[in-house]
Amino acid sequence: MNLVIDGGNTFIKTAVFQNNTILDKQIFKKEEFLKKIDQLQKKFPEIEESILSSVTSLDPEVEKRLEKAFSLLRLDGNTKIPFTNSYATPQTLGIDRIALVAAAVNSYSGKNVLVIDAGTCITYDLKTSEEVYLGGAISPGLEMRFKSLHKFTANLPLVTAKPEPELIGDTTESSILSGIINGIKMELKGTVESYCSKFEDLTVIFTGGDSQILSIPLKNSIFANSNFLLEGLNFILEFNKTQ
């Protein structure tokens, strides 16, 4: 039984896996981490292995507690991964992107896959049918674009995202909604079309918190479930058990 931990800037996601099945999933604030570890250990005493992926620094006591409770694998640039990494600067590759590519290898082995993660940033990651990661792109995410317009101008308001804005905005708010949301959709459509022209039978995976708002109808596109990154982390943990 595995414990998978995805640490964000504010929230922590955990999932308990039995083989490939999630038995328990939780989302909580970083301050609750130590308490949650104790609760999970009591609820699932069968947990032996764990993997930690965090984009932010954690309380050292948390990692000490994890090491004491379980065998701990920290995902970083030196971790063995189930694909060939052709990124020119592998040590700078975000661990969340590593996990998403691993999930694509696990679920779509032998296929050309573009993973689009619409979160704080919009990331594009391409793995080939030979399970080679080539790289991709990083673009500002939805909330980042709204905040940038508000912060770097004197009079533009901070707007909240709404699905399906009009193409032609007739107020400042609706103009911002059109410019940002429709602009990202056009970016997505153009980027995917460019990838499709280079890679045959490309499968496109949309994931991340803003994937539904930014959804665009495309051939071969699949909306990944919200556990896609967690599944990738579990796959990396299982892969390292065999190395």
Of the candidates 74, 97, 116, which is a domain's last residue? 74
Contact between 127 and 138 under an 8 Å Cβ cutoff? The reply is no
What confidence tens digit (pLDDT) does each residue in 181-205 have? 999 999 999 999 999 999 989 999 9
Of the candidates 26, 56, 74, which is a domain's last residue? 74
Total domains in the chain come to 2
Would you list which residues are annotated within the binding site for K(+)? 117
User: Is 96 in the active site?
Assistant: yes
First to last CA, the chain: 18
94 lies in the same domain as 26 = no
Would you list which residues are annotated within the binding site? 6-13, 87, 94-97, 117, 120, 172
What confidence tens digit (pLDDT) does each residue in 73-116 have? 999 989 999 999 999 999 999 999 999 999 999 999 999 999 99
For residue 157, what is the DSSP state? Answer: P
88 lies in the same domain as 70 = no
- Please report whether residue 169 resides in a domain: yes
Written as tens digits, the pLDDT of the chain (243 aa) is 999 999 887 789 999 999 889 999 999 998 899 999 999 999 999 999 999 998 877 888 888 889 989 999 999 989 999 999 999 999 999 999 999 999 999 999 999 999 999 988 999 999 999 999 999 999 999 999 999 999 999 999 999 999 899 999 999 999 999 999 999 999 999 999 999 999 989 999 999 888 888 877 766 677 777 899 999 999 999 999 988
The residue annotated as part of the active site, out of 96, 125, 170, 210, is: 96
117 lies in the same domain as 197 = yes
48 lies in the same domain as 115 = no
Across the chain, mean pLDDT equals: 92
CA atoms within 13 A on the CB side of 48: 6
- Please report whether residue 108 resides in a domain: yes
88 lies in the same domain as 45 = no
Contact between 232 and 101 under an 8 Å Cβ cutoff? The reply is yes
pTM over 0.85: yes
Of the candidates 19, 54, 74, which is a domain's last residue? 74
Bridge-based pairing of strands 2-7 and 11-18 is antiparallel
User: For the CA atoms of 143, 144, 147, 152, what is the dihedral angle to 10 degrees?
Assistant: -160
- Please report whether residue 44 resides in a domain: yes
68 lies in the same domain as 101 = no
- Please report whether residue 241 resides in a domain: no
- Please report whether residue 243 resides in a domain: no
8 lies in the same domain as 28 = yes
51 lies in the same domain as 102 = no
Q: Measured between alpha carbons, how far is 105 from 75 in angstroms, rounded to an integer?
A: 17
Contact between 208 and 188 under an 8 Å Cβ cutoff? The reply is no
155 lies in the same domain as 183 = yes
For residue 239, what is the DSSP state? Answer: H
23 lies in the same domain as 60 = yes
User: For the CA atoms of 196, 199, 203, 207, what is the dihedral angle to 10 degrees?
Assistant: -70
- Please report whether residue 170 resides in a domain: yes
**Structural domain containing residue 98:** 84-233
- Please report whether residue 117 resides in a domain: yes
147 lies in the same domain as 125 = yes
184: domain CATH number is: 3.30.420.40
- Please report whether residue 229 resides in a domain: yes
User: Which residue type occupies 194?
Assistant: S
Q: Measured between alpha carbons, how far is 38 from 103 in angstroms, rounded to an integer?
A: 28
144 lies in the same domain as 51 = no
